[in-house]
Amino acid sequence: MSFPTTRLRRLRRSELLRSFVQETRLSAKNFIYPLFVGPGSGVKREIASMPGNYQFSVDRVGEECREVADLGVPAVLLFGIPETKDERGSSAYGDDCIVAQAVRAIRQAVGEKLLILCDVCLCEYTSHGHCGVLKGQEVDNDATLDLLAEESLSYARAGADMVAPSDMMDGRVRAIRRALDGASLSHVSILAYSAKYASVFYGPFREAADSAPQFGDRRSYQMDPSNQREALREIALDIEEGADMVMIKPAMPYLDVICRARQEFPIPIAAYQVSGEYSMIVAAAQRGWIDRERAMMETLTAIRRAGADVILTYFAKDAARLLAC
């Protein structure tokens, strides 16, 4: 029936009515909080391009994770900042690598109150800043796979619940799954960065993780922003190779990809609201151009509405506080 019998505004009259018929709901349980861990002692250094986010030393990351757990956020994702770099990213793996140290420190601080995820890539650890071993000026896909598997084993042995390969090498999920299973670590899950686009929105992250490439760019292995169907192929292949969850990154510019993935695949889907998305909102709010809290919640709701089960976001703590009110 049409107007005047049908009046959709009836269910918008009050906050209670709007909440009663709300289609998409956010919870702190939907969030993963990214953290940057590096060398030193007593370090909590704010990242200039990502206000409100910090680089932590291993001895400080536990207290941050206690706060995250107390807010009801169920998981953190760790990125390492090594003391030294080389062409093979050797600081990314081994029992004493920075991320393995952080995993043990967090587990000691919060026990099983948080899921610990570890990003698996070489870009923070290589002297050239690319995500794999070089052969000339190109990243050698197959030579990189063993190193990614070794990196994953290091984090899993330290106690990580999940490893998250972000490198976009072909075949990395299969290599990591076989390595974990072969080391009696079949309980460790894989969250694959399956559709990771070659995006301009990673800029602030490269300061946070000191991971900018020293030459060229990453378009030969990260996805072309023009392509949607290719993203679905990437996701399907990662599921076939053993991924337990898949991710689309960035989030807001690729809501269509999140939506298509949700329609196509019966698997948990994550989306990463990346550093540039975060920093644009914060910068605009600091200038009085937008309302920070409303922009934060609107964008997170849009990502959830598109179909993401899990959202990786630097707003995780702030959003959790707001949702608890």
Q: How far is CA 313 from the centre of its chain?
A: 7
Q: Kindly report, residue by residue over 273-306, the tens digit of the pLDDT.
A: 999 999 999 999 999 999 999 999 999 999 999 9
Closest CA to 124 of 78, 188, 180: 78
Catalytic-role residue among 29, 44, 85, 196: 196
**Beta-bridge partners for 311:** 31, 271
Average pLDDT over all residues of the chain? 95
Question: Based on the number of CB atoms within 10 Å of its own CB, is 30 exposed (0-12), middle (13-18) or buried (19 or more)?
Answer: buried
**DSSP labels for 36-105?**
EEESSSS-EEE-TTSTT-EEEEHHHHHHHHHHHHHTT--EEEEEE--S--BTT-GGGSSTTSHHHHHHHH
Mean pLDDT (whole number) for 194-209: 90
Question: What does the block give as tokens for 93?
Answer: 């793996």
**Section 206-221 average pLDDT:** 81
Residue 44 among the catalytic residues: no
State pLDDT tens for residues 222-239. 999 999 999 999 999 999
Every domain of the chain and the residues it spans: 25-324
CA distance 272 to 122: 19
Q: Using 50, 70 and 90 to split pLDDT, how confident is the model at 250?
A: very high
Sorting pLDDT into bands at 50, 70 and 90, what band is 206?
confident
Q: Is 80 exceeded by the pLDDT of residue 32?
A: yes
Tell me if 203 sits within 8 A of 189, measured CB to CB.
no
Rounded Cα gap, residues 195 and 267, in angstroms: 14
pLDDT at 169: 96
Superfamily of domain 25-324: Aldolase class I (3.20.20.70)
Q: Which residue carries 């993203």 as its tokens?
A: 231
**Confidence check: pLDDT of 209 > 80:** no
CB atoms within 10 A of CB 14: 9
Crossing angle between the packed helical segments 141-158 and 172-182, to the nearest 10 degrees: 40
Task: Based on the residue annotation, tell me whether 196 is a catalytic residue of this protein.
Answer: yes
Q: How far apart are CA 237 and CA 209, in angstroms?
A: 28
Q: Evaluate if residue 116 carries a pLDDT over 80.
A: yes
How far does Cα 40 stand from its chain's mean position? Answer: 24
Angle between the N-to-C axes of helices 316-324 and 58-70, in degrees from 0 to 180, rounded to the nearest 10: 30
Residue 311 near residue 304 (C-beta atoms within 8 A): yes
Q: What pLDDT score was predicted for residue 205?
A: 85
H/E segment holding residue 295: helix 292-306
Taking alpha carbons only, the member of 186, 322, 227, 205 closest to residue 274 is: 205
Question: Considering 85, 113, 249, 317, which one is annotated as catalytic?
Answer: 249
| CA-based torsion, 85, 88, 94, 99: positive or negative | positive
